[in-house]
């Protein structure tokens, strides 16, 4: 389970790994104001997606003024970033991290990984870090050395210093950094802690310019401070699954599962539910290319959410997505579901009658309503 960069850095810094000062930006205005705290004249603006390769994809920008920081945050936040490692669909940038830029003279690679053979901690090092490391990794031409790093004793420090020297990092500061990272690795039950690049600055300091930590998913329950990231990853997986089935979905925390075709209708539905004091469990827009089996998959994702107490189906059968196609999808999903929550259905437009007939034939726990406001009122009543 990966932690985003800012959280990975915070974790490592707690054990003594040097990182640049930074802050998480929730909005461009915030970002511009908070820049004053960093006490610098150059800033790095970094999208906090979980995949790497951001540098080459425009997800890491170096700028000179707080207003430029604001503009970059605006450009990144809420937008999809496609990198070498995200796959073609990309990842939505949900947060942006701003740091004081480093004056980097050389980029190194340093990582700790769990050695599954011995259960020990493996130290990986390379003189060619940063983007160059990623490019070589892509070409299967990565050169890095490995050794097992044991507990911090005088003999072990000597061994690690000699190992790091072979990779251009034989300074005490880097030895300290490696043992600090090892302590964080063990105490948090990590499976990976990667610093790439480990930057050597003009002043001769060694600082983690980028970091990535992965927790053992089976041990997360012992580290509740990271649970929010587990939720995020679960949510991402659900949204990706919906995407793979031609459905645009955004998971929310409410109790009413919403099945709607068309983004505009979806937004209207969302606003009406909120206005009536209900809580949607998702936003959904079924794309016109979705077949009934794909729609079934999307509805299954809602039915398997334990928060969902009712499903609100609102379809306007148009030129391409027909009322009966959606009704078939919903029926298939209910057929497979263990939990069959009440369904409120409003279908209008093309093949509406056939759609409603299908829901009844399959003996779904359905209430049919005529208007959108009735649908919302009934769904809220059933979900409470």
Helix and strand numbers (H, E) in the chain are: 13, 19
Q: Decide the pairing of beta strands 60-63 and 190-201.
A: unpaired
Residues in 206-245 that interact with Mn ion by CB under 5 A = 210
Residues in 170-209 that interact with Mn ion by CB under 5 A = 196
Choose between 98 and 333: whose C-beta lies nearer to ligand GDP.
98
Residue 265 within binding range of ligand GDP, rule CB under 6 A? no
Question: Which of residues 123, 209, 265, 352 is near ligand GDP by CB under 6 A?
Answer: 209
Residue 2 within binding range of ligand GDP, rule CB under 6 A? no
> Does residue 109 have an active-site annotation?
yes
Which backbone phi and psi does 248 adopt, to 5 degrees? -85, 120
Residue 9 within binding range of ligand GDP, rule CB under 6 A? no
Residue 22 within binding range of ligand GDP, rule CB under 6 A? no
Residue 261 interacts with which of ligand GDP, Mn ion, none, CB < 5 to 8 Å by class? none
Choose between 137 and 220: whose C-beta lies nearer to ligand GDP.
137
What single DSSP character describes residue 50?
A: S
Structure-block tokens of residue 16: 């003594």
Closest CA to 325 of 372, 272, 261, 268: 261
Residue 60 within binding range of ligand GDP, rule CB under 6 A? yes
Rounded to 10 degrees, the C-alpha dihedral 273/279/285/290 comes to -120
Determine contact, residues 92/79, Cβ cutoff 8 Å: yes
Q: Nearest distance from residue 195's CB to Mn ion, in Å?
A: 9
The site map against ligand GDP for 97-136 (x = CB under 6 A) is ----xx-x--x----------------------xx-----
Q: Give the relative orientation of helices 5-14 and 172-187 as an angle to the nearest 10 degrees.
A: 110
Closest CA to 79 of 62, 91, 87: 91
Which backbone phi and psi does 322 adopt, to 5 degrees? -100, 155
Catalytic residue among 109, 134, 239, 334: 109
CA angle 346, 348, 351 (to 5 degrees): 115
Half-sphere exposure of 190 (CA within 13 A, CB side): 24
Residue 4 within binding range of ligand GDP, rule CB under 6 A? no
Residue 76 within binding range of ligand GDP, rule CB under 6 A? no
Residue 5 within binding range of Mn ion, rule CB under 5 A? no
Paired strand residues for 147 = 123
Catalytic residue among 32, 99, 194, 239: 194
Residue 170 interacts with which of ligand GDP, Mn ion, none, CB < 5 to 8 Å by class? none
Q: Which residues form the catalytic set?
A: 109, 194
* Contact footprint for Mn ion (CB under 5 A): 196, 210
* Contact footprint for ligand GDP (CB under 6 A): 44, 46, 52-55, 60, 62, 101-102, 104, 107, 130-131, 196-197, 209-210
């Amino acid at each position: 389970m990966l932690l985003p960069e800012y959280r990975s850095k915070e974790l490592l810094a707690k054990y003594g790994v040097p990182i640049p000062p930074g802050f998480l930006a929730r909005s461009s205005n915030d970002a511009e104001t908070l820049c004053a705290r960093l006490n610098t004249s150059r800033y790095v603006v970094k999208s906090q997606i979980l995949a790497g390769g951001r540098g080459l994809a425009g997800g890491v920008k170096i700028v000179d003024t707080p207003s430029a920081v604001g503009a970059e945050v605006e450009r990144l936040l809420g937008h999809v970033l496609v990198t070498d490692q995200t796959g073609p669909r990309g990842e939505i940038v949900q947060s942006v991290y701003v740091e004081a830029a480093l004056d980097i003279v050389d980029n190194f690679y340093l990582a700790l990984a769990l050695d599954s053979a011995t259960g020990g901690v493996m130290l990986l090092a390379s003189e060619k870090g940063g983007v160059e490391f990623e490019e070589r990794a892509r070409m299967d031409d990565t050169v890095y050395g490995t050794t097992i790093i044991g507990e911090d004793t005088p003999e072990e420090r000597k061994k690690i210093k000699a190992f790091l020297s072979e990779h251009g990092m034989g300074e005490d500061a880097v030895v300290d950094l490696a043992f600090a990272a090892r302590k964080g690795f063990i105490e948090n039950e990590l499976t990976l802690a990667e610093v790439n690049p480990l930057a050597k600055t003009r002043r001769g300091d060694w600082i983690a310019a980028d970091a990535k930590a992965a927790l053992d998913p089976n041990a997360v329950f012992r580290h509740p401070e990271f649970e929010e990231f587990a939720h995020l990853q679960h949510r991402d997986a659900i949204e990706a699954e919906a995407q793979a089935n031609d459905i645009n979905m955004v998971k929310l925390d409410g109790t009413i599962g919403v099945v709607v075709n068309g983004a505009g209708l979806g937004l209207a539905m969302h606003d009406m539910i909120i206005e009536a004091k209900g809580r949607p469990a998702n936003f959904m827009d079924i794309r016109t290319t979705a077949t009934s089996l794909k729609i079934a998959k999307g509805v299954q994702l809602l039915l398997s959410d334990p928060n969902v107490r009712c499903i609100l189906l609102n379809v306007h059968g148009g030129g391409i997505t027909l009322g009966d196609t959606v009704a078939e999808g919903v029926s298939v999903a209910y057929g497979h579901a263990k939990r069959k929550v009440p369904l409120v259905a409003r279908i209008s437009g093309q093949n509406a009658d056939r759609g409603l007939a299908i829901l009844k034939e399959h003996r779904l726990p359905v209430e049919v309503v005529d208007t959108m406001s009735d649908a919302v009122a009934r769904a809220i009543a059933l979900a409470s």
